[in-house]
Amino acid sequence: MTTNDLANDVTSKQNVAKLEANLARVEALTQRLITALGQARPVPPALQGPSQDLYLKAATGYLAEMINNPAKLLEHQLEFWGKSVKHYVAAQHLLTQGKLEPPEDDSPKDRRFTHELWETHPYFNFIKQQYLINVAAVQQAVEDIDTLDSEEKKRLRYFSQQLIDMLSPTNFLPTNPEALALAAETDGESLVSGLENLVADLEANNGDLVVTLADKTAFKLGENLATTPGSVVYRNHLFELIQYAPTTDQVHETPLIIFPPWINKFYILDLKPQNSLIKWAVDQGYTVFIVSWVNPDPGYRDTSMSHYIEDGYLTAIDEVKKICGVKKVNAVGYCIAGTTLSLTLALMKQRKDTSVNAATFFTTLTDFSDRGEVGVFLEDDFVNGIDAEVAENGILDSFFMSRTFSYLRANDLIYGPAIKSYMMGKAPPAFDLLYWNGDGTNLPATMTMEYLRGLCQQDKFATTGFDVCGTTVHIKDVTVPLIAIACETDHIAAWKSSYSGIQKMGSKDKTFILSESGHIAGIVNPPSKNKYGHYTNPELGLSADDWHAAADKREGSWWPLWDAWLSGKSGKMIPARQPGGEDHPMLAPAPGTYVVAK
């Protein structure tokens, strides 16, 4: 036996041992997989997708179109079949000539198909081109239906696109060249690691499949996230109030209180020093407070919008006034917290309470006549399902909200991460924003339905008035000086709807800024990055489109512009304040206890 024979024999035995070890891992993981799947919660059908009525109307409309205008549909069918067959024949022709190459490819660019084999390998290129031809046919079929109203048509477009995205060949191992190549390179190790990732995600979420987007071991609140120094100076059943330590010798006399959304946790505004809006505001000489909301359990079933206003907003504002010894504060509301800040301001107007000097709204909706992309989930089929869910459990579990927002960007937040984790066995990245995105919170039953029914569906605040705290409040009663920042590609709070709400407010002093990018990146956009620009236009009497067309485009972050506006509303400079006081002892260091409670 030669040296090469011995080496080959050793390698063969090593490969067999490795295969046996992997098979043993797969067997153990399969048992864990079955156990984990058995623990999954039953998801109500009403929260799985739109009602069958939508599809029935679409099918009826398509049938009617076939009867009334057969030539149009026949033309589209022939176009589809022509493209599909022509591509098939071209691919076959090259193969019969012995050419292992794809035919001409003029399909649109798609970042899902960036691996070189999608372009160079005849099998994978054929699958890609056929998929994209089918996509175009489905989209055309949806557009051919003229019997649906605008909202139904929008929903049909959205949910048909969900099906299209789900069936992408990149989402299946046999048709994903990148995953197959990696499996071959690693002797199947990537697939076993992917199975481990899948099982770990199922076990971590009690059988619910929630793709881990970020390395959860890479971050710890107070150590490398939410590190701006400060203290909890007040706490009640609904929130902790955090006051941040000054970094300047002098500060503006009027303190700044920030109300973040309770759908997620406040530290989106304090991820790390380089992109922390909180730290930046402190560095500009503001006494900054932030509300850290409790993560509700079923015991909060009856907590309403009125509780969030009375026990949350008004209480927090009152405590800030006491701590700082002032009569007025400036307030910020982000997303749903901005919506609720506007309700609070309208209520304060009725009560003749002038405690808020000026208000800032981040990506805030107050006019829900056009609910944007998220509106596909705000029709009765979904909302009735949520109503039944919270009636039974007392809360809307964060699982449902997280899943809903993820499906608004399914390729980026579901399928792409799932491919990397489960097919390729890659560990999730250490990405602070995605870590925060996965750290969701529950919503109380009563508040959830008040918000969905009275504001989102019935648009009462911008029309007939919204009932809260024993009275009816109207959008025109928001009269304090205000500045609003909306985001151009926001898929949660459409900027045109945000603009419309600001137009309807009664303030004489209004400023509107449109930031580039989306719901998070457009807000968490520090000047040091010089990344996304913004638009300004003082003429708020224009339509949204006309406002945008006439707006001035400015490079870089809107934060300095906000600072210039806010400083003019914040009074004289005084010696810096330290957190707390004699009547407000420091209860815990920032970021507090509510934000880390599970």
Tens digit of pLDDT for each residue in 320-374?
Answer: 999 999 999 999 999 999 999 999 999 999 999 999 999 999 999 999 998 888 8
Most confident of 86-95, 204-213, 528-537: 528-537
Tell me the C-alpha distance between 438 and 198, whole Å: 16
* Region 56-71 average pLDDT: 80
Tell me the C-alpha distance between 41 and 39, whole Å: 6
Longest dimension (CA), the chain: 99
* Region 18-33 average pLDDT: 80
Catalytic choice (324, 335, 469, 487): 335
Tell me the C-alpha distance between 78 and 76, whole Å: 5
Tell me the C-alpha distance between 393 and 445, whole Å: 8
CB atoms within 10 A of CB 349: 19
Would you say 370 and 456 are in contact if contact means Cβ atoms under 8 Å apart? no
Specify which residues 230 forms β-bridges with: 244
Q: Does residue 544 or residue 106 have the better pLDDT?
A: 544
Query: Quick check: helix, strand or coil at residue 176?
Result: coil
* Region 509-534 average pLDDT: 95
pLDDT in the model for residue 408: 84
Q: Is the pLDDT of residue 462 over 90?
A: yes
Q: Which among 458, 463, 545 has a CA at the least distance from the CA of 499?
A: 545
pLDDT in the model for residue 14: 61
On average, the pLDDT of the chain sits at: 92
* Eight-class DSSP state of 272: S
CB atoms within 10 A of CB 302: 11
What is the per-residue pLDDT across 74-98, written as a single tens digit (0 to 9) for each? 777 888 888 888 888 988 888 888 8
Backbone φ/ψ region at 397: left (φ over 0), alpha (ψ -120 to 50), beta = beta
Q: Which pairs count as long-range contacts for 307-310, CB under 8 Å and 24+ apart, including other chains?
A: 307/238, 307/447, 308/238, 308/262, 308/340, 308/447, 309/340, 309/343, 309/344, 309/347, 309/468, 309/469, 310/469
Q: Which residues are CB-contacts of 558 (< 8 A; sequence separation ≥ 6)?
A: 485, 513, 515, 525, 534
* Region 255-261 average pLDDT: 98
**pLDDT tier at 19 (50, 70, 90 boundaries)?**
low
Q: Is the pLDDT of residue 21 over 80?
A: no
What is the per-residue pLDDT across 276-334, written as a single tens digit (0 to 9) for each? 999 999 999 999 999 999 999 999 999 999 999 999 999 999 999 999 999 999 999 99
pLDDT in the model for residue 8: 53
**pLDDT tier at 68 (50, 70, 90 boundaries)?**
confident
Can you say how many angstroms the Cα of residue 436 is from the centroid of all Cα atoms in its chain? 10
* Eight-class DSSP state of 597: -
Q: Is the pLDDT of residue 1 over 70?
A: no
Residue type, 92: Q
pLDDT in the model for residue 13: 60
Tell me the C-alpha distance between 254 and 571, whole Å: 6
469 assigned to active site: no
**Residue 239 φ/ψ, nearest 5 degrees:** -160, 160
pLDDT in the model for residue 409: 87
What is the per-residue pLDDT across 406-420, written as a single tens digit (0 to 9) for each? 888 899 999 999 999
Q: Is the pLDDT of residue 9 over 70?
A: no
pLDDT in the model for residue 6: 46
What is the per-residue pLDDT across 43-53, written as a single tens digit (0 to 9) for each? 888 888 888 88
Token pair recorded at residue 225: 């996230």
Does the domain formed by 230-390+442-596 have CATH 3.40.50.10490? no
CB atoms within 10 A of CB 71: 7
Classify burial at 360, counting beta carbons within 10 Å of its beta carbon; exposed 0-12, middle 13-18, buried 19 or more.
buried
Q: Which among 199, 214, 161 has a CA at the least distance from the CA of 411?
A: 161
pLDDT in the model for residue 7: 47
Percent of all residues in the chain with a pLDDT value above 90, rounded to a whole number? 71
Q: Where are the domains of the chain?
A: 1-38+188-215+398-439, 45-185, 230-390+442-596
Tell me the C-alpha distance between 341 and 338, whole Å: 5
Tell me the C-alpha distance between 578 and 591, whole Å: 16
pLDDT in the model for residue 70: 77
* Helix 3-37 / helix 189-204 crossing angle, nearest 10 deg: 20
